[in-house]
Structure 1
Amino acid sequence: MDFGLTEDQRMMQEMAKDFAQKEILPTMKDDEANHRFRPELVKKMAGLSFFGCGLPEEYGGNGFGFLESVILAEQFAKVSASWRLPFNMQNIGPSITVNKFGTAEQKKRFIPKWVSAEHFGFFAITEPNSGSDVVSMRTNATDRGDHWEINGQKMWISNAHIGDWGLLYAVTDRAAGYKGLTCFIINLKNNPGIITAPIETKLGLHCAPTGEISFNSAKIPKDSVLGEVGQGFQICMWQLNNTRISCAAGAIGIAGGAIEAAIGYANERTQFGKKIGSYQMIQAQIADMVAEHEAAKLLVYRAAWLKDQGLPNQHETSMAKLFASESAVHCALDTMKIFGSYGFSTEYPAERFLRDAQSLRVVEGTSNIQKTIIAGISLGDAVNR
């Protein structure tokens, strides 16, 4: 076993850290307060080849894999979890999924433009009454001969109102159950049957655009299908097993940022004539946070490494996502406690870490869903893929 990063990985880590410190941090308070998304930053990230992980060089790949994407996303989330989202929207979500299931023409047409951020990506799964139960989704696609007609609504979709091309999951055969879902590559712009709107009533991730998409007899081309008709559930589960590792990366980033803030404050704040870091209860909190965080990192890095080796990893990915997201909430909460009254103030980062961490218990499969997956594989009721 080798627990050290390679020279190239350390270089990417430093690049991401430097970018986050110089491009995101200076305006972060104002951006957070105004729910401001800055598209130019995504393009700058693309210019540094941050979105090429796990992809062939002919489509803009950078020669790296999931582990490197985790390392990059972690550094961004340390500063702002909102800016971890582009790694899923441009790389781990649409690009890697199309690279797996798409035709040669689809790969050539779409992947390079997601990697370069010429097009902003998305993937639309969740609906008003359908979240973890993917098969119960109501959005449907009807074959009209020369085109597909889409009707329905998607909710809580990252990049919904700013997205260009991305993935849509819809029902094509209600009677077929999970075999009746199909994945489509669609364009949200310039289609009179598609209406998008932002959702800004969010607890956290204020700089990450989130919205809803309504389809009203929307026409899309017959060649929009990704993979085969009826293969959507398989594609969706495969994709989610990948995008979860990016969520886990965001979780260890949030926890790492929270711990750094807690340690910095504990070394500066004094009470009763001594810095608060000298008191045993504060030390116990920090010790628990650090140990838990290191364990989470090992789980996340291992799951990413297994993906890069082409080895079964669903079990490990769900463990990483579950443990890292719950750990992020714990670390953020204890950071808020260490900050005391200042932890309750928007002038300090503790409250933002806690708000942003909560999202990771929900997205890409709730903590309960991860437990179901872990238990199912552990008990032998499902196969680790």
Structure 2
Amino acid sequence: MLALTSTWTTILLAAAVALGPLATDMYLPALPQIGSDFGSGADAVQLTLSLYMAGFALAQLVCGPIADRFGRKPVMIAGFLLFAIASVGCALATDIETLILCRFLQALGGSAGPVLGRAAIRDIYTPREAAKILAILASIMALAPAIAPTLGGLLVTGFGWPAIFLALGGYAAVMAVVVAIGIPESLRPEHRQPLRPSSLLGNYRRIATDVSFLGYTLTNALIFSGLFAFLSGSSFVLIDFLGVKPEHFGLFFACMVAGYVTGNLASVRLGNRLEPDQVLLRGLVIAVAGGSLMAGLAMAEVYNVWAVILPQALFMIGVGMVMPQTMAGAMANFPTMAGSASALFGFTQMAVAACGGALVGYLHDGTSLVMASVIAIFAVAALASYLLLVQRHPAPSLKPVSFTE
């Protein structure tokens, strides 16, 4: 068993958390083919993504408190096993309704990795340390979305889209074993919380009424929704509208991931000389610039791959700087109930993102305009959330910075 603070523990936690982006990014190149096979439109196919996020959000509200009572490991292992079983169901689906249902069940299991990975980091480190560790963890995790669309495109081309879900199920099964034998339990016995309904509701009420938590969580949810708008619409824009081949989709997607990793590494580097909220503000400004550039190009009817990918890469630099700071800030006030705080944080993030993804699918006009506009709007909203909430109510040890600095 590894030490809690070892580098390998961080790497394995990153691999566990990576199941979330793998489950969304790997099958993106398959969305048009799934729609064709089942005779479904873009809005119905995108429900497999949006309802996955909705299930992911709801499940976190349950697994967080359970993990605060029984520990991170057993809940994470059970989640991975459920995900593996549901993945087989996805691969065997014969209609879009069955696929949507199995994706929802997939989400119930898959939520354990991200919510408990964040909680474990908060168990082990202080808020200031957690911001840096989360940035490092995010950089490692970025390997998943970097290779997932390319691998998914190859699987679709060579074996059909069901192979993607079989591969995801295999990964989840392996991670269940890895967590069982490699990652130590991070929850201290004295921090375990009772499972009485009154205690659970009391904990959630305390977390949800903390203005600092609300500010960081809303800022995160809005910027993540901009990212999810891209995930939801990118395959239809790049493959159907701009003519990118499914097997090449991942190569363009990797540019976005490179932007995200750049933002993560910048977050770590800047964290050595700036306060976390200073890094957060700079990331939001960069994200607004990227989203606004993409929307402006779409409005000017500049329709080509690079008019989408390069602004999105700039947006993702900002996202890479924002995400670790908001995660650490949201959980800073709750060291004894990190699982519940992480669950409510994740629920809000996924619920808002699911609405954003559904909006892109509903309004999709066959071009990049809707997707680009939604990304820009969410970026501006995230900056407004920072200015109105986070800047006025920062978490302890996370000093704010004036917008004019």
- TM-based fold match above 0.5: no
The TM-score normalised by the length of structure 1 is 0.30
Greater fraction strand: 1
Greater fraction helix: 2
Structure with the bigger RCO (C-alpha within 8 Å, sep 6+) is 2
Rg larger for: 1
The TM-score normalised by the length of structure 2 is 0.29
